[in-house]
Amino acid sequence: MKKILFAICMLCTYTAISQNNQSVIDSSAINILDKMGSYIGTLDACTFTLERSLDHEGYYGLEKHFYTDEVTMVGPNKMVVKTRGTQYNKDFMYNGEKFVYYSVDENNYCVLDAPDNIIDMIDSFHKTFGIRFPAADVFYPSLTDDMIENFDNIIYMGNDYINGVLCFHILASNDDLNVQLWIENDEDPLPAKMVIIHKDGNHNQYEATFTAWDINPEIDAEVFDFYPPEDSKLINIMAQK
Amino acid sequence: MKTQSFNIANVSKLILFALLLIAPLTIEAQRFGHGASMSRGGGASRPSTGRQTINGGFHKQPSRSIPSTRPSTLPSRKPSTTRPSTSRPSTSRPTTSRPSTSRPTVNRPSTGNNSSRPSVNRPSNNNSRPGNNGNLSNSTVVNRPNNSHHNNNVNINVNNNHHNTIVRPNPRPYHRPPYAYGGFHYYSYHPYYYHPYRPFYWGPVWHPWGFFVASLATTAIIISIENQQYYYDQGNYYVHQNNGYTVVQAPVGATIKVLPDGYEVVDTGNTTNNYYYGGAYYEKSNDGYTVVPPTAGTIVENLPEGGEEVRIGDQTYVQYGDTYYQPVQIDGKNQYEVVEVKQED
């Protein structure tokens, strides 16, 4: 009898340990992500500012770089991103037909034929040219499903204040990444902050804070056209392998 | 017998208890088998409802079910005080953060209208380079390093293997991490410092690749390398083509007695210096000066016509044949460094 009890205790202990290593998908977190995704999916247009910091692998370790992005989107196929920061100053301009990468520092630009909607454009140029659009993840229409697919744990951590706004704190993790999102506690929730921590190497961090949201503004279509500045030069762009 | 029955009953209860503990684990594992089926890229499955939203509307897997292993802990929602709770009229929010007239008009062509402005309406040329995909414009996409494609339509490579632009690695260790893009590492000894590429001309007797002449000066000499005949004259190498002579890149292995006027000595970082003229590198040999490929890390001040600027990630390099030059600044002077390109492991 003692042996049986011992075996059962061991089984219970193993089960408890195993469960600690199991994935946790928190329904509260999913509901919050769904609500934010649903609201973003209703937006016809928006502008916001993103304050970003990211780590770059340098010879002496991680180097921190800071950027401010002014993002303008009009559905379904117009987008401008103006990035200013410590390492690069550049503009992305997309008018539904063409995508322009303009380097402000170098006064040169690349023009590419573009897909006919923002998400396909973002996805296509990220895959083909490694172009990263700031905080684009939260605008994917399948955000929640993507997170469920890619993260073992998605947990609602509680409430927190970001820039004085009450937010829900969501944490998602897998073997490679720890992603944290702060989403406004509001009927129409918008993302307030995002942090990505890499679990490998030097534990690079990416942090982005959303500010100055402007929802459904009227924006002149001409804003999305690119007019080459004086003495600017059209150059080629290399695709990734 | 009674004791034995009691033991069996207790053991059964304990086993049942243990199974209950295991159950959530199994349920959760099944749950993860129902991940999102949609690959990223919302366009493919976007409903065609005519909506003009920024991402085509939120997608949610219909079969998604959230496990009950963790109770809902969502707190009561804060009442919306700063934002209208339902629809947001598009005119109710001023576009204060981005006025539509924010782009300074000084950058626009003074005489152009929308239809005549360049860039976004720029027609693609007939460049036939491979390496792109989808509906991306052929005109501005280049393919991988170590290709031999070039802007010129002239057959400057004359189907030989004597390219003088394939970089020789430098044995000196690099003290800075390489720039990484697209599965390749770009090594240099100096930091990236952009300055615009402006082709340099080595005087009136020098000609860029592809330059065609009907006849050669009597001072031209014949150089044969592996059954390919070249004509050399004053720093230019020609091949016989189309009843005339076309300038090609200096063939590796060609040896000349005297360096052309205007050559310069460049430091390769090795024990052997190179002599540089017109985009070609020479090394002293027993018979004179022999054309060699560029050595990674070599610094030159001028690049000839025939190069082109290429955006590689967030940096711009000058591609000249198979050589990538990184713009650098050394002692306040704009120069170029020969880059060593290695495929990532």
- Asked if B309 and A235 touch (Cβ cutoff 8 Å), the reply is yes
Weakest mean pLDDT among B254-263, B268-277, B285-294: B268-277
Cβ-defined contact of B78 to A128 (cutoff 8 Å): no
Domain annotation covers residue B189: yes
- Top pLDDT among B284 and A4 is at B284
E strand residue ranges, B268-344: 274-277, 280-285, 288-292, 299-300, 308-312, 315-320, 323-330, 333-338, 340-343
Work out the pLDDT band at B64, boundaries 50, 70, 90.
confident
- Residue B78 has a pLDDT of 52
Q: Give me the pLDDT at residue B104, please.
A: 32
- Give the integer Cα–Cα distance in Å for B133 and B329: 36
CA-closest candidate to residue A162, choices A154, A151, A170, A153: A170
Q: Which of B166, B146, B200, B185 is nearest to B335 (CA)?
A: B200
Residue A216 has pLDDT above 50, yes or no: yes
Taking CB atoms and an 8 Å cutoff, what residues of chain A touch B38?
Answer: 142, 145-146
Regarding predicted confidence, which is higher, B231 or B19? B231
Question: Nearest by CB to A166, which of B57, B78, B118?
Answer: B78
Distance from CA of A172 to the nearest CA of B (A): 14
Name the residue facing B43 among A1, A12, A115 (closest C-beta).
Answer: A115
Band of pLDDT at residue A21, cut at 50, 70 and 90 = low
Q: What is the DSSP string of A222-234?
A: GGGS--PPTT-EE
Phi, psi for A198 (deg, rounded to 5): -80, 140
**B46 vs B40: CA distance, rounded Å:** 12
Nearest CA in chain A to B140: A236
Q: Do residues B149 and B165 make contact, with C-beta atoms less than 8 angstroms apart?
A: no
The string of pLDDT tens digits covering residues B203-259 is 999 999 899 999 999 999 999 998 899 999 999 999 999 999 999 999 999 999 999
**CA-nearest residue of chain B to A32?**
B74
pLDDT score recorded for residue B134 = 33
Q: Coil, strand, or helix at residue B308?
A: strand
Question: Is residue A79 one of the residues assigned to a domain?
Answer: yes
- Report the distance separating Cα B174 and Cα A173, nearest Å: 36
Q: How far is CA A175 from CA A14, A16, A56, B15, B104, in A?
A: 22, 21, 21, 33, 47
Distance from CA of A120 to the nearest CA of B (A): 5
Q: Is the pLDDT of residue B9 over 90?
A: no
Count, in order, helices (H) and strands (E) of chain B: 1, 19
Q: Token match 């632009």: residue?
A: B165
- Tell me how far the alpha carbon of residue B84 is from its chain's centroid: 46
Residue B64 CA to residue B58 CA, distance in Å, equals: 14
Contact B119 A111 (CB under 8 A): yes
What pLDDT, on a 0 to 100 scale, did the predictor assign at position A83? 98
How far apart are alpha carbons A103 and A92 in whole angstroms?
9
Measure in Å the smallest separation between the Cα of B64 and chain A Cα atoms. Answer: 8
Measured between CA atoms, the residue of chain A closest to residue B310 is A236
Domain enclosing residue B268, as ranges: 159-203+252-343
pLDDT at B268: 85
Q: What are the phi and psi torsion angles at B138 (to 5°)? A: -65, -25
Contact indicator for B235, B220 with CB cutoff of 8 Å: no
Q: Report percent pLDDT > 90 for chain B.
A: 45
CA end-to-end span of chain B, whole Å?
A: 70
Across the interface, whether the CB atoms of B72 and A41 are under 8 A apart is answered no
A196 in Cβ contact with A187 (< 8 Å):
no
**CB of A57 less than 8 A from some CB of B:** yes
Q: Return the bridge partners of B187, or none.
A: B340
What CATH number is given to the structural domain containing A123?
2.50.20.10
A189 and B74 Cβ atoms separated by less than 8 Å: no
Q: Per the structure, how many domains does chain B have?
A: 1
Say if A89 falls within a structural domain: yes
- Please give, rounded to a whole number of angstroms, the shortest distance from the CA of A134 to a CA of chain B: 14
Q: Is residue A141 part of a domain?
A: yes
Q: Cβ separation of B66 and A145 shorter than 8 Å?
A: no
* Whether the predicted pLDDT of A160 surpasses 90: yes
pLDDT at B161 over 80: no
Task: Determine contact: A109 vs chain B, CB below 8 A.
Answer: yes
Asked whether B326 and B294 are in contact (CB, 8 A), the reply is: no
Whether A194 maps to a domain, the answer reads: yes
Chain B residues whose beta carbon lies within 8 Å of the beta carbon of residue A108: 196, 309, 311, 316
Q: Which of A82, A9, A77, A11 is nearest to A44 (CA)?
A: A77
Average pLDDT over residues B20-32: 28
What does the mean pLDDT of chain A come to? 92
Query: Which has the closest alpha carbon to B231: B254, B252, B211, B209?
Result: B254
* Residue with the larger pLDDT of the pair A155 and B176: A155
Report the sign of the C-alpha dihedral through residues B58, B59, B63, B67, in that order.
negative
Nearest to A92 by CA among B48, B120, B74, B243: B120
Q: Which residue has the tokens 């890229």?
A: B41
Q: Which residue of B has its CA nearest to A123?
A: B41
Q: B14 and A5: CB-CB below 8 Å? A: yes
Give residue-wise pLDDT tens across range B113-159: 333 444 342 333 333 333 333 333 434 565 444 433 333 334 444 44
Which of A141-145, A179-183, B262-266, B268-272 shows the lowest mean pLDDT across its residues?
B268-272
**Could you tell me what percent of chain A has a pLDDT over 70?**
91
How far is B233 from B205, CA to CA, in rounded Å?
9
pLDDT-derived band at A8 (thresholds 50, 70, 90) equals low
Overall average pLDDT of the B269-284 stretch:
88
Residue B142 region, left (φ>0) first, then alpha (ψ -120 to 50), else beta? Answer: beta
Q: A162-166, A175-179, A196-200, B45-49 — which is least confidently predicted?
A: B45-49
A142 CB neighbours in chain B (<8 A) are 36, 38, 40, 42, 59-60
Would you say residue A65 lies in a domain? yes
d(CA B90, CA A218): 7
Looking at every residue in chain B, the average pLDDT score rounds to: 69
In-domain check, residue A14: no
pTM: 0.75
The verdict on A204 touching B (C-beta cutoff 8 Å) is no
CA-based nearest residue to A213, from A73, A89, A79, A33: A73
C-alpha B98: how far from chain center = 32
Residue type, A217: P
Contact B40 A146 (CB under 8 A): yes
More reliable by pLDDT, B66 or A181: A181
In the predicted structure, residue A50 carries a pLDDT above the cut 80: yes
Q: Is residue B297 in some structural domain? A: yes
Predicted confidence band of residue A114 (pLDDT cuts 50, 70, 90): very high
Q: Which of A19, A8, A14 is nearest to B23 (CA)?
A: A19
Domain contains A17: no
The DSSP H or E segment spanning B12 is helix B2-32
Q: What domain range is A98 assigned to?
A: 22-227
* Residue B81 three-state SS: coil
Range in A70-74, B65-69, B127-131 with the lowest mean pLDDT: B127-131
A94: pLDDT confidence band, cut at 50, 70 and 90?
very high
Question: How close does chain A come to B340, measured CA to CA in Å?
Answer: 17
pLDDT: is B254 or B175 the higher one? B254
Residue B240 lies in a domain: no
Q: Per residue in A6-35, is it b (16+ CB within 10 Å) or e — as a string?
A: eeeeebeeebeeeeeeebbbbbbbbbbbbb
Question: Is pLDDT at B87 greater than 50 in this prediction?
Answer: no
Residue B203 has a CB neighbour count (10 Å cut-off) of: 11
Residue whose tokens read 């500045």:
A229
In a domain, A57, yes or no: yes
* Residue B68 confidence (pLDDT): 45
Asked whether residue B295 is domain-assigned, the answer is yes
- Residue predicted with more confidence, B4 or B274: B274
Tell me: pLDDT of B11 over 70.
no
8-state DSSP, B305: B
Compute the average pLDDT of residues B103-112: 31
Answer yes or no: do B60 and A223 touch at CB < 8 A: no
Report the alpha-carbon distance of residue B25 to residue B336 in Å, rounded: 60
How much is the average pLDDT of A217-231? 95
Confidence of residue B93 (pLDDT cuts 50, 70, 90): very low
Query: Which helix (DSSP H) or strand (DSSP E) does residue A31 occupy?
Result: helix A27-40
Total number of domains constituting chain A? 1
